[in-house]
Amino acid sequence: MRLFDSGRAPNPRRVRIFLAEKGLEVPTEQVDITTLQHKTPEFTALNPLQRVPVLELDDGTVISESVAICHYFEGLRPEPPLFGRGAKEEALVEMWNRRLEHNLLATVAAVFRHLHPAMKELEAQVPEWGEANKPRVIEFLAFLDRALRDSLFVCGAHYTIADITGLVAIDFMKPARLAVPEELVHLRRWHAQVAARPSAGA
Amino acid sequence: MRLFDSGRAPNPRRVRIFLAEKGLEVPTEQVDITTLQHKTPEFTALNPLQRVPVLELDDGTVISESVAICHYFEGLRPEPPLFGRGAKEEALVEMWNRRLEHNLLATVAAVFRHLHPAMKELEAQVPEWGEANKPRVIEFLAFLDRALRDSLFVCGAHYTIADITGLVAIDFMKPARLAVPEELVHLRRWHAQVAARPSAGA
């Protein structure tokens, strides 16, 4: 098995944190996005959509999409459960992970991709779209702050993949030049807590 | 249990098709988006993100996000499996479902929301962003056509949730004023086949 990873991008980091929480180590190859290694014929043959991360299994099966890769590792090593336990909890983890993906990770990414000068050559930028996403980020953070007032982690008492998506999205706010408002104290408490876990260094 | 559904929107339709494939019937309430019923205090109390569909369980648990709701029903009635069977197949279904969500359902939705005159009052439109998504839709359809050349369904020999997402996304192209290119014959074969299933009428 080989994991095609890429240094600073948020999605590869989601998989690295997931592996660290599981205590799993996987042989890794680096794909340098800044030199367009994800657009080479070799990498395109693995994932025609030219996105990292990608997991290649020993039988040649290729799995792309971060959450699909995490799902596969959850099957390999079920403990600790990071997708929930039982039908209801699994549905709630899926709900929270998707809420964070659509309303936070995707909106922060839109701000970064469409407004950051470093992305000019990699993306056909629509600055107005980047600007339109700024208030969406802040609005969702306020919602998340309220949810975390009475909850240790994003989806209740246990750390799950939703916390990973949240941590990665919030940390991605820095290069996107966005800041978490001071008054969101529950969100800040939660972020400090998940950022202090050893897995956050992955 | 109560499902909060909404007539013509693509995400509620994903859940209805999923239920039809499972042979499940669930008590349903209609939420009329055109008259902003998803923004009432009552509905906002259920889902603060003001999105349909929403599933309310008998114990008061509220599950939003279409795929999370489908995941819950998969747990209730595992047959036929629509999320795959076994770790590898489940990861591949997750991968394909996400590929279709990010590259087709989301891009078609961006064209509809940011360019359709009927959406002017519901959405802060960024027409340039709508236009930027048109070539992304067509580019992904060509990729999907190649994948369907040797495959009965999106993810191999079995109908899965990825086919549901694909069908709903392609049908959403009509109100978005987009057309499937004539030459994508494998995609057209697959679409005719999934659209002919009784569940497609849901």
User: Could you tell me if A146 and A186 are in contact, meaning their C-beta atoms sit under 8 angstroms apart?
Assistant: yes
Q: For residue B62, what pLDDT is reported?
A: 98
Q: How close, in Å, is residue A118 to chain B by CA atoms?
A: 20
For B23-82, the pLDDT digits (tens) are: 999 999 999 988 889 999 999 999 999 999 999 999 999 999 999 999 999 999 999 999
So what's the architecture of B87-197 in CATH?
A: Up-down Bundle (1.20)
| Cis ω for the linkage preceding A53 (within 30 of 0) | yes
CB-based contact, B45 to chain A, within 8 Å:
no
Per-residue pLDDT at A34 exceeds 90:
no
Query: Alpha carbon of B124 to those of A2, B103, B113: distances in Å?
Result: 43, 22, 9
B65 in A contact zone (CB under 8 Å): yes
Residue B171: pLDDT band by 50, 70, 90 thresholds?
A: very high
Q: In this prediction, what percent of chain A has a pLDDT beyond 90?
A: 94
Residue range A2-76 forms a domain whose CATH class is alpha beta
Per-residue pLDDT at B7 exceeds 90:
no
| Partner residues linked to A3 by β-bridges | A28, A55
Is residue B8's pLDDT more than 90? Answer: no
**Nearest Cα residue to B106 out of B142, B73, B70, B132:** B132
Structure tokens at A3: 């994991």
Contact between A94 and B68 using a beta-carbon 8 Å cutoff: yes
Can A2-76 and A87-201 be said to share one CATH topology? no
Q: In what order do the strands lie in the sheet with A2-5?
A: A28-30, A2-5, A54-56, A62-64
Q: Determine whether the interchain pair A71/B65 forms a contact, defined as Cβ–Cβ distance below 8 Å.
A: no
Subunit contact B129:A129, Cβ cutoff 8 A: yes
Predicted TM-score (pTM) of the model is 0.97
Tokens linked to A169: 């999205």
User: For residues B6 and B53, what is the distance between their CA atoms, to the nearest angstrom?
Assistant: 7
Contacts (Cβ under 8 Å, ≥6 apart) of B117: none
Domain extents in chain B: 2-76, 87-197
Contact B64 A99 (CB under 8 A): yes
| Contact assignment for A94 to B65 by CB distance below 8 Å | yes
In a mutational test of the B interface, the residue from A70, A94, A100, A111 whose CB has the highest number of chain B CBs within 10 Å is A94
Tell me how crowded residue A116 is: count the other CB atoms within 10 A of its CB. 16
**Residue range A87-201 in CATH 3.90.226.10:** no
